[in-house]
């Protein structure tokens, strides 16, 4: 079964980024943090995390731009991505799913624990 060892959080909202990272770190997971899409992209390509949480509305590169850019990378093509959104925008979600995002959360509808637990469950069910 796959388990999360290192993850990347690409989120411009400091509060959510902090809470998510702190909670993950408390579980012993290594967390890389980025406050914008560009920094996130560089970190992803450098660190090859097991999973990436990415926000949609962000400066420099938006979440969708981040995903599209990442998919151009050899490793990034198959990277695991979870989308975090504050707006349930069906076109954005559809676009993200088309780009191989396997799960998305509307932030306000879930507690951070939920987000982590659900993500882990999905991640574990993925084949190697």
Partner 1 sequence: MPSLTIIFSASLALIAGLAFYVRSRFLLEKMSGKEKETGRKMYELAILKELGDRIGYSLDVHEIIDIITGSLRQFIEYSAVSYMLIQPEKVIFKVQLEKSVNRGFLNEIRERMLGSLSALLDKELSKSVIEEVLSGVILSEDTNEPVRSFFNIPLVIGEKVVGVLTVSDTKPGLYKEEEMTILYKITQQASKAVSKLQEVVRMEQRKLNSMVESMADGIVMTDNDYRVLVANPAVKTLLGLVSARELSIFDIIEHVAGKFDIRSKLEESIKLGKVLEVPEVILGERFFQIFISPVKSTAAMTSGETLGGVVIFHDITREKELDTLREDFTSMMVHELRSPLDGINKIAELIMSDRTHKHAEKVVHEYVPIIHKSSSDMLRLVSNLLDAAKVESGKYQIFKEPIGDIRKLVAERVKFFDPSVKAKQLVVKIEISADAPGSMSFDENALVGVFNNFIFNAIKFTRDGGKIAIQAFLHQRGKDVIDEARRNGVSWFLKEADQVSKDLPSSLVVAITDNGVGIKRENLPLLFNKFRQFQSAAMSGDKKGTGLGLVIAKGIIEAHGGLVGAASEEGKGSTFYFTLPI
Nearer to partner 1, 57 or 93 (CB): 57
Of the candidate residues 2, 6, 13, 100, the single one contacting partner 1 (CB under 8 A): 13
Host H or E run for residue 75: none
Q: Give the other-Cβ count within 10 Å of 100's Cβ.
A: 14
Q: Indicate the pairing of strand 103-106 with strand 6-10.
A: unpaired
Report the alpha-carbon distance of residue 16 to residue 5 in Å, rounded: 20
The distance of closest approach from Cβ of residue 83 to partner 1 in the complex, given in angstroms and rounded to an integer, is 14
Kindly identify the residues of this chain, within the stretch 84-103, that bind partner 1 according to CB under 8 A.
Answer: 86-87, 89
Q: Indicate the pairing of strand 30-34 with strand 6-10.
A: parallel
Of the candidate residues 6, 30, 47, 112, the single one contacting partner 1 (CB under 8 A): 112
Binding residues (CB under 8 A) for partner 1: these are 12-16, 18-19, 22-23, 36, 57-60, 62, 86-87, 89, 107-108, 111-113
């Amino acid at each position: 079964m796959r388990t999360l060892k290192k993850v990347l959080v690409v989120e411009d909202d400091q509060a959510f980024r902090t809470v998510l990272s702190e909670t993950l770190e408390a579980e012993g997971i290594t967390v890389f943090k980025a406050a914008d899409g560009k920094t996130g992209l560089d970190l992803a390509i450098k660190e090859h995390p097991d999973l990436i949480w990415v926000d949609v509305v962000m400066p420099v590169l938006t979440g969708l731009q981040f995903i599209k850019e990442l998919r151009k990378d050899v490793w990034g093509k198959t990277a695991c991505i979870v989308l975090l959104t504050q707006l349930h925008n069906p076109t954005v979600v559809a676009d993200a799913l088309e780009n191989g995002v396997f799960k998305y959360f509307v932030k306000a509808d879930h507690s951070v624990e939920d987000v982590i637990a659900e993500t882990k469950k999905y991640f574990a069910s993925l084949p190697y």
